[in-house]
Structure 1
């Protein structure tokens, strides 16, 4: 019986961990951080900085990366604490403010990844993290939740296309209603 309770608790914890992972991957990374990362990567200034980073001693670049990485993670942890304490606006602001820094940190990592992998300890930690993410992505819970997220996204896309596209009947009716109200408003205000 104790084992069954332990397994249920483990399943619940696994569900929450996977759910949070999917939220970060689907919503925050794909919706916010990846576009910022792509914008950062396309900036001309960063091409010059990339050349400078490649010329800079690897220990200094690694120190910069680790400093940024730890700072971003600490900010995320503090934001989570604010959320848990009920300070939703403060937590949201802190979390959103760290996203551009995280995008830049990710860019520094991508630019210097080959050099960082020369450190055995860094390579070991990197591959352990990749293996952990692969383990999550291979789990049944992850696949089930991801399927539900995909279904939800498709349903939201269908609602958007059905009601909010310029050719939809709903949009046309709302536009006609707006024009009628506008005409009435103009008549009333001209009196």
Structure 2
């Protein structure tokens, strides 16, 4: 089905971008830090809440997270890169908190039937994406490209190539002054 191919490619690229670059590098460590810091006292307090209140808290944090992402995108499009970067950092921090709430209270949240079905659907779509051939090929290509770029950067930053970086940087500074 060639009609669905562009959609499949877009889903794969978005998933790789989010999971590999954002989640694994930034949000997951933040979630782990938050879990260490908050597990001491907050998990007991949240655990006492009714499942619908926990769900409301989770959805509130998820909405704020998505709002930060939307605002960051608008800021980037309007040329306000610093504001966009700050909003995106706030989004990553909020994502860590949001997913901590989800992982710490998963059993309680799953007692709400529609939430369990929605979660299962999202996990089914995720599984569909990561088992696609295009996902596997794209991920392999990205890994090989990153290794090649690291090799080039290492070559240029050590030994003979070190002067090249300095000359290149000096050239760019003169060119754009």
Q: Which residue of structure 1 aligns with residue 169 of structure 2?
A: none
Equivalence map 1:31-70=2 (5 Å): 31-43=25-37, 45-70=38-63
Structure 2 match to 1:178: none
RMSD: 2.5
Query: How far off is 1:74 after superposition?
Result: 2.0
Counterpart CA distance in 2 for 1:160 and 1:29 is 25
CA distance in 2, matches of 1:143, 1:102: 26
Q: Kindly state the Cα deviation for residue 169 of structure 1 after the two structures are TM-superposed.
A: 4.0
What TM-score, normalized to structure 2? Answer: 0.79
* Distance in 1, Cα, partners of 2:11 & 2:34: 29
Greater relative CO, 1 or 2 (CA 8 Å, sep 6+): 2
Task: Name stretches of at least 5 consecutive residues in structure 1 with no aligned partner.
Answer: 175-191
Could you tell me which residue of structure 2 aligns to residue 29 of structure 1? Answer: 23
Flag the 1:41–1:160 CA change in 2: closer, same or farther, 3 A. Answer: farther
TM-score relative to the length of structure 1? 0.74
Identify the residue that residue 16 of structure 1 maps to in structure 2: 10
Partner of residue 88, structure 1: 81
Q: Which protein has the bigger helix share?
A: 1
